[in-house]
Amino acid sequence: MSAEATVLAYWAACEARDWERFGTLLADDMVYDLPQTRERIHGRAAYLRFNQEYPGDWHVSVVRAVGDGRRAATLITVTVDGTPTPATTFFDLDESGLIQAITDFWPEPYDPPAGREHLVQRY
Amino acid sequence: MSAEATVLAYWAACEARDWERFGTLLADDMVYDLPQTRERIHGRAAYLRFNQEYPGDWHVSVVRAVGDGRRAATLITVTVDGTPTPATTFFDLDESGLIQAITDFWPEPYDPPAGREHLVQRY
């Protein structure tokens, strides 16, 4: 399975709450990293529980995916209780194609800085 | 040039302020999209000027890059006036390998929500 197929399967299993399938894609000693909150989760068991316990009525749809060799990245839209928000995720796979490391970002809306109005359009 | 090589050249030219080289990597009608601020820049000329005018003593280093076919993604650290911040970027290339679309995210630090302390480590 290619790196792109692996991360597409990861998100599909996540959306389906198919935790058995989801778990088969993860290395035992995988690490999940959230640089924005400086949180880290070690190991498949804890990471499975983190996802299973994640609050809210959330849904995932993949906007973009790219993979090559043992690296992949996705842009997804996560809709939580009706509110869509983007998330960007970088994946490292181990030699057997299992997900070894996930680095996840949750970018929030912000007001654009002044001084570039002559170059940009708002939407 | 592969998609990964193209986006590595893009960041190298950016860091070097080599705007001539930077411009040769962009399609004339490229679009730069910032979903967080809902800003969009149309065209190479405006996007070049946006980068040339970007304030602060900024430096770029690539943390991860992945590309395949006409898609690529990068995770970079941008250090502005000494403060490092991550940015995640998704690229679409056109048929001739020029950068046609850039979707950029600037994730900011935030406090972790309560309820997952039993699964995470802070760093």
Per-residue pLDDT of chain A (123 residues; tens, 9 = 90+): 999 999 999 999 999 999 999 999 999 999 999 999 999 999 999 999 999 999 999 999 999 999 999 999 999 999 998 899 999 999 999 999 999 999 999 999 999 999 999 999 999
CB contact at 8 A, A65 and A73:
yes
The CATH number assigned to the domain holding B92 equals: 3.10.450.50
The number of beta carbons lying within 10 Å of the beta carbon of residue A7 is: 27
Return the closest-CA partner of residue B106 out of B84, B122, B121.
B84
pLDDT at B32 over 90: yes
**pLDDT band at B13; cut points 50, 70, 90:** very high
pLDDT at B66 over 90: yes
Q: Which residue has the tokens 């994946």?
A: A91
- What DSSP string runs through A35-100? TTTTEEEESHHHHHHHHHT--SSEEEEEEEEEEETTEEEEEEEEEETTEEEEEEEEEEE-TTS-EE
The pLDDT of residue B62 is above 90: yes
Q: Which A residues in the span 58-77 are in contact with B, Cβ-Cβ below 8 Å?
A: 64, 66-68, 71-73, 75
Predicted pLDDT at A30: 98
Residue B112 placed within a domain? no
What pLDDT score does A81 carry?
Answer: 87
In the sheet where A99-105 sits, what is the strand order?
A: A58-68, A71-80, A83-93, A99-105, A26-34, A39-42, B121-122
The model carries a pTM of 0.96
Does any domain span residue A112? no
Residue A113 included in any domain: no
Please report which confidence band the pLDDT of residue B47 belongs to, taking 50, 70 and 90 as the band edges: very high
A42 in contact with chain B, both atoms CB, cutoff 8 A: yes
Beta carbons within 8 Å of B118's beta carbon, 6+ residues apart: none
Q: Which residue of A has its CA nearest to B32?
A: A120
| Residues of chain B contacting residue A105, judged by C-beta atoms under 8 Å apart | 86, 88, 105, 107
Looking at chain B, the whole-number percentage of residues with pLDDT higher than 70 is: 100
Q: Which amino acid, one-letter code, is at A78?
A: V
The answer to whether B112 contacts A34, with C-beta atoms less than 8 Å apart, is yes
What does the pLDDT look like over B95-119, one tens digit per residue?
999 999 999 999 999 999 999 999 9
Residues of B in contact with A108 (CB under 8 A): 36, 107-108, 110
ipTM exceeding cut-off 0.90 for this assembly: yes
CB B108 within 8 A of CB A29: no
Q: Across residues B49-61, what is the average pLDDT?
A: 94
Q: How far apart are CA B42 and CA B26, in angstroms?
A: 12
The total of structural domains in chain A comes to: 1
A35, A71, A116 member nearest B66 (Cβ): A71
From chain B residues 83-112, the ones with a CB under 8 A of any chain A CB are 86, 88, 90, 103, 105-112
C-alpha–C-alpha distance, residues A67 and B67, integer Å: 7
Chain A residues with CB under 8 Å of B47 CB are 119
The answer, for A82 touching chain B at a CB cutoff of 8 Å, is no
CA distance B20 to chain A (A): 19
Is A116 part of any domain?
A: no
Measure the CA–CA gap between B93 and B6, rounded to whole angstroms.
Answer: 9
In a domain, B84, yes or no: yes
Are the C-beta atoms of residues A94 and A101 closer than 8 Å to each other?
no
Judged on CB neighbours under 10 Å (0-12, 13-18, 19+), B60 is middle
CA distance A91 to A8: 11
Mean pLDDT of B17-22: 98
Domain that holds residue A42: 3-105
Please compute, for residue A120, the number of CA atoms within 13 A of its CA located in the half-sphere on the CB side: 20
- On whether residue B87 sits in a domain, the answer given is yes
Asked if residue B68 belongs to a domain, the reply is yes
Instruction: Report pLDDT for B81.
Output: 87
Q: Does residue B121 lie in a domain region? A: no
